[in-house]
Structure 1
Amino acid sequence: MGHMQHMDGGWITPVLSYVMAVVGAALGLRCTVRALAARGRAKRNWLLTASAAIGAGIWTMHFVAMLGFTVDGTAIRYDIPLTLLSLAVAIVVVGAGVFIAGYGGSRVRSVLLGGLGTGLGVAAMHYIGMAAVELNGSLAYDPRLVAASVVIAVVAASAALWAALAVRGPVIAAGAALVMGLAVSSMHYTGMAAVSVSVRTSTAPLAGASAPAFILPLAVVLGSFLFLTCAFVALSPTARERAESEAAARPLHEVELPAT
């Protein structure tokens, strides 16, 4: 059995990964709320942005947390195609959940199906990401903790979607994002607690890329995307604000300038 560290860099990796999960959740939920007030192409674009935000947020959370994952007696590398697949799965499966929530007829069905889809997306992303881990040895999983991690992911996603669909206001939205971020992090560390490693001594070089060479740059790019999109969404007017500003501007065009 290899001794594992999940927080090798101290508290920086869990805290930073939690922040990334919260930013992705906040942006995704905000876009979902915007989508409900929109129609046609605008609605679809808001839902696509929400999917990308939540998917990128949970992926970045997972791999930033993985920067603190070390095992005594072996280096750790990441299989590049599987790592990228985990990102694609996160966005596509979360997207399915978000679109069900956005286009669903009843709120209950939207939350149940959307939460199930989104939660399974989080879990699938996590375990595909774990399959991308290359080390001298083998990983084994405790099935009870794996099941618990999937349940946490589904319940959390459902709760966050319910909050996004049922309530309005920045305080509630911030609270939902904090809860969803906490849930995604809890799911991650529950999933990591399920892992045990049997290390084999080997001098053979490992396939794949090291975390600093591959995971870190990709996480920085996705993190930048999330923060920039957050700023854009925060600054772009809502449908109601746009209608109000148009109504306010209309009389100005109709006022006749006094003759000089």
Structure 2
Amino acid sequence: MQGTVDGFSYGLATPVAAFLMACLGGALGLRCTTRSLRDHGTHRTFRPGWLALGATSIGSGIWTMHFIAMMGFSVEEAPVGYDRPITFTSLAVAIVMVGIGIFIVGYRGATAMALVTGGTITGLGIATMHYLGMAGMRLQGRLQYDTVTVALSALIAVVAATAALWAAVSIQGFLPSLGASLVMGIAVTGMHYTGMAAVSVHLHGDGLPAGGGDTATSLLAPMLIGPAVFLLLAGVVVMLDPLLVMGGSGRQQPAYRVPRRPGGPARRQGYAHGEPAGRTETRRRRTGSR
């Protein structure tokens, strides 16, 4: 017997809230990735921290988006529950796989190979999180998927992730980054509902007990309190960083220059991140210059 599936039990409330969480996580993650690329020289030690914060922000935003959207999912003939370990394992998978993709781009830059590789891994991480979260559902029946629609949802996730990573390393300025975050939110939310369109439920009487696992309502508190608080704190960290607020380029400037000699061109003596002053002096002695 086929179950009657409704993905919008609360109307537009869950899709809109899910979209906003996807945009928030995407915005913070992309800004952190952009910030990591501005670290040079001695400041490069901060790059892993920014990339890790970005990966956790995107993963938390996508995971929270998924389960807010699932609050509106119901099967008329059977109650739906969730297995807690599988549910939170999907969060870890999202953060780890998104992190791999972001670290590739963060250290390799905007090369075609890095963007394709990082975008593919990140997109597959989004899709894996979605279907692993679906595997945590408990009801008197089994889920069936349309293969073509599942493949389309995975393709949307990969394209969206690749475009978002390209925007993170190529687009400068707050407003363009905000636009890229909105596009990412639309794409990730669209991937979710495309994946949900592939679902059908075949009910039976010999499956798991009705309501096995935690209900959607009991998952609401950790879903909102945990990741939402983290995203709030991540937003505070991002907004307090001067380079992101003021839009600094992060390029290193020379530490000092030798004044111009009368009647001769100016010469460099050394830079904080360029040629050491001692090496310059050694070359002068070898050439006999004064």
Give your verdict on TM over 0.5.
yes
Instruction: For residue 229 of structure 1, report the CA deviation from its aligned partner.
Output: 1.3
Correspondence for 2:231 among 211, 226, 229: 226
Cross-structure match for 1:121: 125
In structure 2, distance between residues paired with 1:121 and 1:190: 16
CA change 1:41–1:11 in 2 (3 A) is: same
CA change 1:73–1:99 in 2 (3 A) is: same
In structure 1, distance between residues paired with 2:249 and 2:121: 33
Cα deviation digits, residues 74-113 of structure 1 (max 9, x gap): 1111011110110000000000000001011552222111
Correspondence for 1:79 among 77, 83, 103: 83
Q: Note if contact 1:55-1:91 (Cα within 8 Å) is conserved in structure 2.
A: yes
Percent of matched pairs sharing the same residue: 47
Stretch of structure 1 that moved more, 206-215 or 136-145? 206-215
User: 1:71-150 alignment to 2 at 5 Å?
Assistant: 71-104=75-108, 106-150=110-154
Decide which structure has the larger Cα Rg and report it.
2
* Pairing 1:43–2:47 present: yes
In structure 2, distance between residues paired with 1:205 and 1:91: 31
In structure 2, distance between residues paired with 1:216 and 1:201: 31
User: 1:1-260 alignment to 2 at 5 Å?
Assistant: 1-38=2-39, 39-104=43-108, 106-201=110-205, 204-238=209-243
- Which one-letter code corresponds to 2:38 in the other structure? A
Q: Secondary structure at the match of 1:8?
A: coil
Q: How many residues align?
A: 244
Q: Secondary structure at the match of 2:3?
A: coil
In structure 2, distance between residues paired with 1:17 and 1:124: 18
Stretch of structure 1 that moved more, 223-232 or 42-51? 223-232
| Gapped regions of structure 1 (runs ≥ 5) | 245-260
Cα deviation digits, residues 15-40 of structure 1 (max 9, x gap): 00000000000000000000001143
Q: Secondary structure at the match of 1:2?
A: coil
Cα deviation digits, residues 29-68 of structure 1 (max 9, x gap): 0000000011433100000000000000000000000000
CA change 1:243–1:184 in 2 (3 A) is: closer
In structure 1, distance between residues paired with 2:78 and 2:185: 31
In structure 2, distance between residues paired with 1:109 and 1:31: 21
| Gapped regions of structure 2 (runs ≥ 5) | 252-290
In structure 1, distance between residues paired with 2:221 and 2:66: 12
In structure 2, distance between residues paired with 1:121 and 1:192: 17
Instruction: For residue 191 of structure 1, report the CA deviation from its aligned partner.
Output: 0.3
In structure 1, distance between residues paired with 2:124 and 2:28: 20
CA change 1:215–1:86 in 2 (3 A) is: farther
- Which one-letter code corresponds to 2:26 in the other structure? A
- Which one-letter code corresponds to 1:78 in the other structure? Y
Q: Note if contact 2:110-2:166 (Cα within 8 Å) is conserved in structure 1.
A: no
In structure 1, distance between residues paired with 2:19 and 2:107: 29
More helix by share: 1
In structure 1, distance between residues paired with 2:110 and 2:177: 21
Instruction: For residue 224 of structure 1, report the CA deviation from its aligned partner.
Output: 2.0
In structure 1, distance between residues paired with 2:150 and 2:224: 25
Cross-structure match for 2:274: none
- Which one-letter code corresponds to 1:2 in the other structure? G
In structure 1, distance between residues paired with 2:38 and 2:56: 19
- Which one-letter code corresponds to 2:20 in the other structure? V
Q: Note if contact 1:64-1:216 (Cα within 8 Å) is conserved in structure 2.
A: no
Stretch of structure 1 that moved more, 161-170 or 47-56? 161-170
